[in-house]
Structure 1
Amino acid sequence: MTTTAATKDGLPSMIAYLTRVLKTPTIGAFWEELAEQARDENWSHEEYLAALLQRQVADRESKGTVMRIRTAHFPQVKTLGDFNLAHLPSLRRDVLAHLATGTFVAKAENVILLGPPGIGKTHLAIGLGVKAAHAGYSVLFDTASNWITRLAEAHQAGRLEAELKKIRRYKLIIIDEVGYIPFDQDAANLFFQLIASRYEQGSVMVTSNLPFGRWGETFSDDVVAAAMIDRLVHHAEVLTLTGDSYRTRQRRELLAKEKRAGRD
């Protein structure tokens, strides 16, 4: 069947068929609505075509973003817009804005967030991960202990290389809470292999409550820790954050509120 051979009455069924074959359901759903708008506003053929294609692309990108965020396995979805920057004056706004563009992922660069517990490192990591997903990059999030468990299970099953290759398909991996739980020598070696496998190949984002000088305590080996840090920071933005814990601050604010209420 061709367009020229089709009658006007047969156009809807023909377009429905063609959009199914081309896998463009949004065009199939909106071509009539946009055609009426085009006639009312005297669009050219080119303007009508562009409007249809834009609608299809926007819908596909939106669904792709939702899927990337879902498969990232964030513990919860948090955005940078929800983050109260006023409580973290040590964070440079220009650096955060640059990281939010996701260009570091395109360059296979890393991001390291260092600072005491409770100041919002995980929130920032998730927020930047969500931004990367919106920019079209695949993301995978987990805690450091869970990453080790995943690698240890693969190693025991004799498929560590296959697992590392699978992880390399993600443009950005986020390793949360490095330093909260110490690792033995075997775990440290697995962690090193994860970092080494992504060196200049894919981006890594790490949050840690420990400065680099104390990573040897976590990985049971100063040499392994130094080699890991060397690969992480070679192409990286390292943000050392200072500030009050959210929980401590919230408790302090609650006590102040109760004190004011008592005076009233």
Structure 2
Amino acid sequence: MSTTASQIEYYARALRAPRIGDAFRRLGDQARDAGWSHEEYLAAVLSREVSEREASGAALRIKAARFPGHKTLEDFNFDHQPSADRNLIAHLGTSTFVTEAKNVVLLGPPGTGKTHLAVALGVQAAKHDHRVLFDTATGWVARLQDAHSRGKLAAELTRRRRCSVLICDEVGYIPFDQDAANLFFQLIASRYEHASLIMTSNLSFGLWGDVFGDPTVASAMIDRIVHHADVISLKGTSYRLKSHQPTPGTA
């Protein structure tokens, strides 16, 4: 092994950049054959390190988000859900809303793709270097109740605010008692204009008062959620039920 090659491998280890040590020979042969300049060769080697490091980081962030499954925008069935605005969803997929601390709210009946889109947008955010965490609305309340019982509620809210995107799935499926509603409101209020929420609900905003047991609390919560938000209303029947319906003539 040449002295230069040994030096490059040493530098790659010292910089904790192992892809440089893997790529410099292969790209060196390609650079000589193609007549690259020194600058072009260096840029190509560094690009490999950065791109693979970003992919590895994204994979770790996606795993840490605790999604219920891996969903992508490319897999979403827009043909079944024509009410979904393709252009808006594509724009949300750039994760600009995260840097602007805006929210995304997905409303519609069960099985219309709300959770799919929420997870897919969360995956995109993770790929854009944002920390994401997924849970159901009842799951978030359970976390807050545990923190509250330990006298750590303020610290828990501060810690969650450092997460760029929280996904609250299934708001409205199970009614909250007053204490749970107050805790959920504190979660919403703590993130207002500081960090993003992605929320899904099977209920229109007009019915949230029933969920939280107090129209005033629900109104204050909705006001903070939608002030800086894109609200997407999905319509139609459940895609899951449709996929299990018998074909004509087989019933």
Counterpart of 1:142 (choices 129, 135, 141) is 135
Question: Aligned pair count?
Answer: 251
Find the counterpart in structure 1 of residue 126 from structure 2. Answer: 133
- In the aligned structure 1, how far is the partner of 2:2 from the partner of 2:242? 68
Following TM superposition, by how much is the alpha carbon of 1:251 offset from its aligned partner in structure 2, in angstroms?
3.1
- In the aligned structure 1, how far is the partner of 2:143 from the partner of 2:99? 26
Find the counterpart in structure 1 of residue 196 from structure 2. Answer: 203
Following TM superposition, by how much is the alpha carbon of 1:19 offset from its aligned partner in structure 2, in angstroms?
1.1
* 4+ residue segments displaced more than 4 Å: none
Within 5 Å, which residues of 2 pair with 1:51-90? 51-90=44-83
Q: Does the residue aligned with 2:105 lie in a helix, a strand or coil? A: strand
User: One-letter code of the match for 2:117?
Assistant: L
Find the counterpart in structure 2 of residue 258 from structure 1. Answer: 250
Find the counterpart in structure 1 of residue 241 from structure 2. Answer: 248
Find the counterpart in structure 2 of residue 213 from structure 1. Answer: 206
Following TM superposition, by how much is the alpha carbon of 1:257 offset from its aligned partner in structure 2, in angstroms?
5.8
Following TM superposition, by how much is the alpha carbon of 1:78 offset from its aligned partner in structure 2, in angstroms?
0.8
Find the counterpart in structure 2 of residue 102 from structure 1. Answer: 95
Q: Does the residue aligned with 1:176 lie in a helix, a strand or coil? A: strand
Find the counterpart in structure 1 of residue 169 from structure 2. Answer: 176
Q: Is the Cα contact below 8 Å between 1:89 and 1:243 reproduced in 2?
A: no
- In the aligned structure 2, how far is the partner of 1:25 from the partner of 1:43? 23
Q: Does the residue aligned with 1:205 lie in a helix, a strand or coil? A: strand
Alpha-carbon spacing, 1:14–1:150, altered in 2? closer, same or farther (3 Å): same
- In the aligned structure 2, how far is the partner of 1:101 from the partner of 1:85? 18
- In the aligned structure 1, how far is the partner of 2:229 from the partner of 2:145? 27
- In the aligned structure 2, how far is the partner of 1:48 from the partner of 1:16? 16
Residue 231 of structure 2 is aligned to residue 238 of structure 1: yes
User: One-letter code of the match for 2:248?
Assistant: A
Q: Which moved more, 1:51-60 or 1:128-137?
A: 128-137
Q: Is the Cα contact below 8 Å between 1:118 and 1:247 reproduced in 2?
A: yes
Counterpart of 1:20 (choices 13, 32, 44) is 13
Counterpart of 2:185 (choices 182, 185, 192) is 192
Following TM superposition, by how much is the alpha carbon of 1:240 offset from its aligned partner in structure 2, in angstroms?
1.4
Q: Does the residue aligned with 1:52 lie in a helix, a strand or coil? A: helix
Residue 3 of structure 2 is aligned to residue 10 of structure 1: yes
Q: Which moved more, 1:76-85 or 1:14-23?
A: 14-23
Indicate the structure (1 or 2) with the bigger Cα radius of gyration: 1
Question: Which ranges in structure 2 are unaligned for 5 or more consecutive residues?
Answer: none
- In the aligned structure 1, how far is the partner of 2:209 from the partner of 2:175? 9
Find the counterpart in structure 2 of residue 30 from structure 1. Answer: 23
User: One-letter code of the match for 1:224?
Assistant: V
- In the aligned structure 2, how far is the partner of 1:243 from the partner of 1:216? 24
